[in-house]
């Protein structure tokens, strides 16, 4: 008896789990290409398009954070327990990041919305630089 075809939804949710699990064990922000390659190296057979689509869904669901790097590349990270609204300072070289929760940013956004009479105000802010570890390597 041939095995019944795997329902598409089930297959997708397993891929999703695999990506979430992988991201949970990884610290830096990574591009979808990097994530795809690392998954492949660990034996996952997923195309780049699939990985990208799953990542996009996870971002939409608020499960995964995404940022645009200064070079215009989209980077992903699972922030987990420090989830909720926050900002990041990110290393341009290695992707290391710290979550920033700064009330001043939140207040500034709110004030700007009020001042210009905008509703449904949202904001995004990412700070880029070179982390301590990478700057030490560069000096040598
Ligand atoms: Zn985050
Ligand atoms: Zn770095
Ligand atoms: Zn904010």
On whether the CB atoms of residues 76 and 55 are closer than 8 A, the answer is yes
Residue 110, both tokens = 């709110």
Query: CA-CA distance, 36 to 49, in Å (whole number)?
Result: 9
Q: Cα of 81 to ligand 1 centre, how many Å?
A: 10
For residue 106, give the nearest of 131, 91, 87 by alpha carbon.
87
Whether residue 72 is predicted with pLDDT greater than 90 in this model: the reply is yes
Per the prediction, the chain carries an average pLDDT of: 90
Q: What is the pLDDT of residue 82?
A: 52
Q: Cα of 40 to ligand 2 centre, how many Å?
A: 24
Least confident span in 20-34, 54-68, 69-83, 123-137: 69-83
Q: Cα of 79 to ligand 1 centre, how many Å?
A: 5
pTM of structure = 0.81
Structural Rg of the chain based on CA atoms: 18
**Which ligand has the nearest atom to the CA of 59?**
1
CA distances from 43 to 15, 18, 22, 116, 118 (A): 12, 11, 12, 52, 49
State the pLDDT confidence band at 1, using cuts at 50, 70 and 90: low
Residue 9, both tokens = 């939804």
Return the percentage of the chain with pLDDT > 70, whole number: 91
Q: What is the pLDDT of residue 140?
A: 63
Question: What is the number of alpha carbons within 13 Å of residue 103 lying toward its C-beta?
Answer: 0
Whether residue 32 is predicted with pLDDT greater than 60 in this model: the reply is yes
């Amino acid at each position: 008896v041939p095995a019944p075809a795997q329902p598409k939804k089930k297959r997708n949710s397993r891929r999703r789990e695999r990506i979430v699990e992988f991201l949970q064990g990884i610290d830096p922000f990574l591009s979808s290409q990097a994530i795809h390659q690392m998954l492949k190296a660990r034996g996952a057979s997923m195309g780049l398009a699939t990985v990208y689509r799953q990542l996009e869904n996870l971002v939409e669901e608020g499960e995964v954070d995404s940022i645009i790097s200064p070079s215009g590349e989209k980077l992903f990270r699972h922030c987990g327990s420090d989830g909720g609204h926050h900002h990041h300072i990110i290393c341009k070289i290695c992707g290391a990041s710290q979550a920033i929760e700064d009330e001043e940013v939140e207040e500034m956004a709110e004030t700007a919305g009020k001042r210009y009479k905008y509703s449904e105000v949202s904001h995004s802010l990412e700070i880029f630089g070179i982390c301590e570890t990478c700057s030490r390597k560069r000096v040598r």
